[in-house]
Amino acid sequence: KEKKLWGGRFQDRVTDAVERFSESVSFDKKLYRQDINGSRAHASMLAEQGLMSASDKDSILHGLDEIERQIEGGEFVWRADREDVHMNIEAALTDLIGEPAKKLHTARSRNDQVVTDVRLWCRDAIDRIVSCIRQLQVALIKLAIKNEGLIVPGYTHLQRAQPVLLQHLLLSYVEQLERDSGRLVDCKDRLNFSPLGACALAGTGLPINRFMTSDALGFRAPLRNSIDAVSDRDFLLELLSSNSITAIHLSRLGEEWVLWASEEFGFLTPSDSVSTGSSIMPQKKNPDPMELVRGKSARVIGDLTTLLVLCKGLPQAYNRDLQEDKEPLFDSVETIIGMLEVSAEFAENVTFNRERIQRSLPAGHLDATTLADYLVKKGIPFRTSHDIVGRAVAMCVSKNCQLSELPLDQLTSISPVFDESVYEFLGFENSVKKFCSYGSTGPDCVADQLSFWCKQLNIG
Ligand code: ARG
């Protein structure tokens, strides 16, 4: 067994159990590219500052290129006894180029190195998530375009409430996703500062230039305080919180679509390509992808919870506990990306059943509130008109009919204010047309929303 990179003061080697328990290379090797880029920037800075020769720097850079090539070609041997991605790469570099490699860790600790890698990884991860969010938004907008004019029942408390345009409902998810991507962009902006050069926690007495490495790695600036730099994972809490919120949005979409795909609703049918069957019931066609979207939101929330609990009891500066930040991070990011991709595919492969929806629309007195507005327009105070319409609804319930089917004399028996014009307000189609407030479900308002989004996302 080789001596550890930190082995100078040690007489005995760690037990196999401890080695197995504490290694992180099995999962943090995902950070290899960030780690190598960090080392490139660091070595160049050290040379610039006179802390290593130009030729040492060159051999380090060549060695790092070779290691990157080996990793990407699948030839690199990751060793658990070398603990983590950082020491695997550094030790491999020493195997490869010898002496010069020993200068690379000058004025650097794994504490600033690891958090630099993670910040760099998060920047890319955020870009990936944001682009998946875009794709889902586009899929929802295209689905809206396909279903122009389709009225669906709007629900509150899962009880029939008011008629809305399906486009309006679909665009409500687009809005939520837009805030999700805004949160990610904010998060990226806030995390884009360099910890490199904070070293273990106190900085260094060597004449390094943290601004140079910060620039080289595309950070906005070095973090001001070296203790803060190695301590905090608040940027991960932010990213995982944002993912959790997105996951909840997707879970609600999943819940709605699973419900709508049921025999009882029958509002939508997913194509075979996004459905699965049952191993026992031959007739079954299940909307599994959206059920799993709902289900996987639990993992994303769990990942955030893990990280919150991980951080809560730590004294300032680096603690080894922080090694446990990576798996929840990776899991949260991969899971949310999968959820977004599958939701977009589902949206591309779903059909809304116009006829079935239309047949169901007369139930539930969706036009009652529009009728109350009609009375308000005739000068009746809203509380009174609410009561009048309530009585008209009660009449419908007892006669088992719709508001639009009540003859005028029955309506005038409740209030003399009703006249023939009332029938222009009744029925789900008339009712939807009456909405005109900004952001409402009226056809003009929804067309405005749709054209906003088409322009915003370049959908022709
Ligand atoms: N693998 C470690 C982590 O992920 C790297 C930092 C270890 N630092 C240390 N002083 N042991 O956090």
CATH architecture of the region 111-207+221-359: Up-down Bundle (1.20)
Give me the chain's average pLDDT, please: 97
* Rounded mean pLDDT, 185-193: 98
As a CATH number, domain 7-106 is 1.10.275.10
Of 22, 55, 278, 421, the catalytic one is 278
* Count of beta carbons in the 10 Å neighbourhood of residue 331: 19
Q: Best substitution site from 18, 113, 114 to test ligand 1's pocket, by max atoms within 8 Å of Cβ?
A: 114
pLDDT bracket for residue 130 (50, 70, 90):
very high
Ligand 1 centroid from CA 297, angstroms: 29
* Rounded mean pLDDT, 272-286: 89
d(CA 232, CA 193): 12
Ligand 1 centroid from CA 23, angstroms: 9
The verdict on whether 365 is a catalytic residue reads no
φ/ψ (deg, to 5) at 161: -120, -75
pLDDT at 265: 97
- DSSP tag of 402: -
Identical fold, 7-106 and 360-456 = no
pLDDT at 9: 87
Domain ranges of the chain: 7-106, 111-207+221-359, 360-456
Predicted TM-score (pTM) of this structure: 0.96
pLDDT at 68: 98
φ/ψ (deg, to 5) at 450: -65, -40
pLDDT at 4: 85
CATH architecture of the region 360-456: Orthogonal Bundle (1.10)
Of 7-21, 149-163, 178-192, 403-417, which range is least confident?
Answer: 7-21
Report the amino acid identity of residue 305.
Answer: T
Look at residue 1 and tell me whether its pLDDT is greater than 80. no
Q: How many residues does the chain have?
A: 460
* Rounded mean pLDDT, 211-231: 98
| Strand boundaries in 313-419, DSSP class E | 350-352
